[in-house]
A and B are shown apart, each in its own frame.
Chain A
């Protein structure tokens, strides 16, 4: 079975500094990987995905993620953090279930950007 791990419950970053939110995965075959963000009192919003192609994927709100096959990682990054980036971030990997696919979710990482 596929799995995804977010090793940090919380990440604290000062505004203007670069941020990284970590995600590692375990899959058989080529992974389909996703990042979602959840702002307070909202549903999850899609940020970016990796299916194939360039290892560096660019997404919404200036975020990007780097796919690293040898390290089985898909860390989310942003060069300069904003206070408004404070939210809950989820990594997910696609898993085949019978003849369909579902997303398997990490536990989430709370990102706090301090002014």
Chain B
């Protein structure tokens, strides 16, 4: 597609439920990033996929968080047994294989609210 697409745009879930957030990057972008952003705050790095390499999971805050990227394209971020502190906006970005020379393109994010 023309841009990075994230779905759903908003998600309200009950504490303890699992959620899946989806990111569809720009076609041809081999690098994909997930970030978390609390209201009006900075970006917290979660995970990074580059081509067929093992993902950099160093930013995942707990083992309740996992992500996969199928076929080098669409990525799903899964949060198990959600907690209220998981409430945030989850942003996905993609970039060309050359890395960050051209910067990242971001999706509009998924706003997750855990009640």
**A interface residue numbers (CB < 8 A to B):** 32, 34, 36, 41-46, 49, 51, 88, 90, 92, 94, 97, 100-103, 105-108, 110
A-B CB contacts (within 8 Å), total count: 60
In this complex, the member of B42, B93, B103, B108 whose beta carbon has the largest number of chain A beta carbons within 10 angstroms is B103
CB neighbours (8 Å) of A42 from chain B are 108-109
Report the count of interface residues on B (CB-CB < 8 A): 26
Quick check: A32 and B109 within 8 Å, CB to CB?
A: no
A49 to B103, CA, bound (A): 8
Quick check: A97 and B101 within 8 Å, CB to CB?
A: no
Say how far A111's CB is from chain B's closest CB, in angstroms.
12
Using known A-B contacts A32-B100, A88-B40, determine if residue A97 contacts B56 with beta carbons closer than 8 Å.
yes
A8 to B105, CA, bound (A): 25
Pick the residue among A43, A88, A103 that contacts B100 (CB under 8 A).
A103
B65 within 8 A of A: no
A110 to B42, CA, bound (A): 10
Using known A-B contacts A45-B106, A88-B40, determine if residue A94 contacts B101 with beta carbons closer than 8 Å.
yes
B107 within 8 A of A: yes
CB neighbours (8 Å) of B31 from chain A are 100
Quick check: A110 and B40 within 8 Å, CB to CB?
A: yes
A36 to B100, CA, bound (A): 13
26 residue pairs bridging A and B, Cβ less than 8 Å apart: A34-B100, A36-B103, A36-B106, A41-B111, A42-B109, A43-B4, A43-B6, A44-B93, A45-B106, A46-B104, A51-B101, A90-B43, A100-B31, A101-B99, A101-B100, A101-B101, A103-B103, A103-B104, A105-B42, A105-B43, A106-B42, A107-B42, A108-B41, A108-B42, A108-B43, A110-B40
In this complex, the member of A32, A36, A90, A102 whose beta carbon has the largest number of chain B beta carbons within 10 angstroms is A102
CB neighbours (8 Å) of B98 from chain A are 101
Quick check: A44 and B106 within 8 Å, CB to CB?
A: yes
B48 within 8 A of A: yes
A113 to B108, CA, bound (A): 23
A108 to B111, CA, bound (A): 19
B87 within 8 A of A: no
